[in-house]
């Protein structure tokens, strides 16, 4: 079964190994696009001088326990035999709304933010904007309402393509009759497709979620979707999210590096028009872990130690944070629920407890907010004189934080108002600044267009 799982979500195998040996660059060979000039002695650092962290939940949707219905379709695509022999008939068909509330409320109490997928047409069972056979219309509406009320305040919503199983024929609205891997979202359908074709398919998924009142600034790829069409995937995300939701900074989750030295910072791609009225870019969000809470198929979990050890000294999350990068963790909703045993949820809670016990400088962010910050970080033009820092920003950004390689003698001023000095980096927020013997940190709300910070 190990080889089959690698085929389903190959970033847990092939891409991770490539990253470990330094071969990942060709796999993520996207075009960075335009980059502005930057003054020496000024550096954009993490927001509020904290470490951005986020949690990515895959395979979630309303009511449907996705893999109860997906595994037999995967098995068919692989021709049966020893492929996908999990005991799917014994798995419950539903992940109840009561668990969504339990998970969402616990996460909100502990300040967790991230991304929660809503598969629009889960495993071809039914479209969320119509009706799902096996559940009443009222039950579906209550479930959608639950997502809006409990999840969206703290979690971005992504379609994980359309079905997470078979490809839908956009002309008919039905799955293609071809049951092979070539017409499964997780495998080969995107290979050889143009950006326009992929964008049309993404738009179909996005529109289902739009029809039920869920906003999306990004998408998540199911399995290997787009893995052999990475430039087209990025461009299709940019096109579809702008077309359907007018997203200013579209983003997508495709890659995870659970080991190795490859950077896991968000990658700002296809930047253009930075000085005009229609700046564009797309951001690739990269997770730094595997799923060690329970997997997509309720397999034996790797456990909390894989993320962060009990003594708080080791684990992948500690490795990433200690090297100064943001940390996006990964789990699957089906494993979080774990057929009602909540095995993954308990591991998730322990990981969060350990992270908060070790670090007091974490900043939990939705993926859209992290994407916005990195787009502003990468694409804002900065000029420096003795009197001021001048910014030309294609995108507005909250908590924009710059490090100036000098100890300022007077409070910096933004829009004619002096910023408030704080005596600790941990107290930084928009409208404040901090200095030590060698440098100064300035945190403010960066507006779109031209602005300046007076420093002398």
Q: Can you tell me whether residue 324 is helix, strand or coil?
A: coil
Residue among 321, 121, 283, 87 nearest 212 (CA): 121
Q: In angstroms, how far is the first alpha carbon of the chain from the final one? A: 64
The Cα 303–Cα 331 span in angstroms is 11
pTM for the model stands at 0.93
pLDDT in tens, the chain (456 residues): 333 333 334 333 333 333 333 333 334 457 999 999 899 999 999 999 999 999 999 999 999 999 999 999 999 999 999 999 999 999 999 999 999 999 999 999 999 999 999 999 999 999 999 999 999 999 999 999 999 999 999 999 999 999 999 999 999 999 999 999 999 999 999 999 999 999 999 999 999 999 999 999 999 999 999 999 999 999 999 999 999 999 999 999 999 999 999 999 999 999 999 999 999 999 999 999 999 999 999 999 999 999 999 999 999 999 999 999 999 999 999 999 999 999 999 999 999 999 999 999 999 999 999 999 999 999 999 999 999 999 999 999 999 999 999 999 999 999 999 999 999 999 999 999 999 999 999 999 999 999 999 998
Q: Which residue has the tokens 């200095």?
A: 435
Q: Can you tell me whether residue 14 is helix, strand or coil?
A: helix
Domain range summary for the chain, segments of one domain joined by +: 2-35+51-373, 380-454
Report residue 86 as tokens: 């999990």
The Cα 241–Cα 194 span in angstroms is 16
Residue among 203, 107, 92, 101 nearest 149 (CA): 101
- DSSP letter for 436, please: -
Q: Which CATH superfamily is domain 2-35+51-373 in?
A: Glycoside hydrolase/deacetylase (3.20.20.370)
Residue 298 backbone class (left: φ over 0; alpha: ψ -120 to 50; beta: rest)? left
220 and 333 in contact (C-beta within 8 Å)? no
């Amino acid at each position: 079964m190990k080889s089959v799982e690698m085929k389903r979500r190959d970033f847990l195998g092939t891409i991770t190994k490539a990253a470990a040996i330094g071969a990942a660059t060709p796999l993520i060979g996207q075009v960075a696009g335009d980059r502005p000039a930057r003054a020496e002695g000024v550096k954009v650092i993490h927001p509020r001088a904290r470490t951005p962290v986020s949690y990515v939940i895959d395979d979630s949707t309303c009511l449907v326990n996705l893999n109860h219905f997906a595994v037999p379709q995967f098995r068919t695509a692989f021709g049966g035999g020893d492929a996908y022999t999990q005991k799917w008939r014994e798995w419950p068909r539903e992940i109840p709304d009561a668990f969504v509330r339990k998970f969402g409320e616990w996460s909100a109490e502990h300040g967790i933010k991230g991304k929660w997928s809503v598969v629009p047409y889960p495993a071809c069972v039914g479209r969320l904007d119509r009706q799902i056979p096996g559940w009443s219309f009222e039950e579906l509406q209550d479930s959608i309402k639950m997502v809006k009320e409990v999840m969206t305040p703290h979690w971005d919503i992504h379609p994980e393509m359309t079905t997470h199983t078979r490809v839908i024929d956009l002309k008919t609205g039905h799955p293609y009759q071809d049951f092979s891997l070539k017409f499964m979202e997780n495998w080969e359908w995107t290979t050889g497709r143009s950006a326009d074709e992929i964008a049309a398919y993404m738009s179909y998924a996005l529109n289902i979620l739009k029809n039920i009142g869920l906003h999306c600034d990004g998408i998540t790829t199911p399995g290997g979707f787009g893995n052999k069409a990475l430039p087209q995937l990025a461009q299709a995300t940019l096109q579809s999210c702008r077309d359907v939701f007018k997203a200013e900074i579209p983003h997508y989750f495709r890659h995870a590096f659970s080991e190795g030295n490859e950077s896991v910072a968000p990658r700002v791609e296809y930047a253009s028009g930075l000085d005009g009225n229609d700046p564009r870019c797309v951001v690739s969000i990269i997770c730094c872990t595997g799923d060690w809470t329970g997997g997509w198929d309720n397999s034996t979990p790797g456990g909390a130690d894989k993320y962060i050890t009990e003594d708080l000294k080791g684990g992948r999350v500690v490795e990433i944070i200690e090297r100064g990068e943001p940390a996006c963790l990964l789990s699957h909703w089906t494993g979080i629920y774990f057929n009602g045993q909540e095995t993954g949820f308990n591991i998730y809670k322990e990981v969060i407890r350990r992270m908060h016990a070790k670090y007091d400088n974490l900043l939990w962010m939705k993926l859209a907010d992290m994407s916005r910050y990195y787009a502003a970080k990468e694409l804002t033009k900065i000029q420096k004189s003795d009197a001021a820092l001048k910014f030309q920003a294609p995108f507005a950004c909250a908590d924009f934080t710059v490090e100036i390689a000098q100890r300022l003698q007077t409070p910096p001023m933004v829009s004619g108002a002096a910023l408030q000095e704080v005596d600790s980096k941990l107290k930084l927020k928009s409208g404040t600044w901090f200095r030590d013997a060698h440098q100064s940190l300035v945190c403010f709300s960066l507006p779109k267009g031209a602005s300046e910070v007076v420093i002398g």
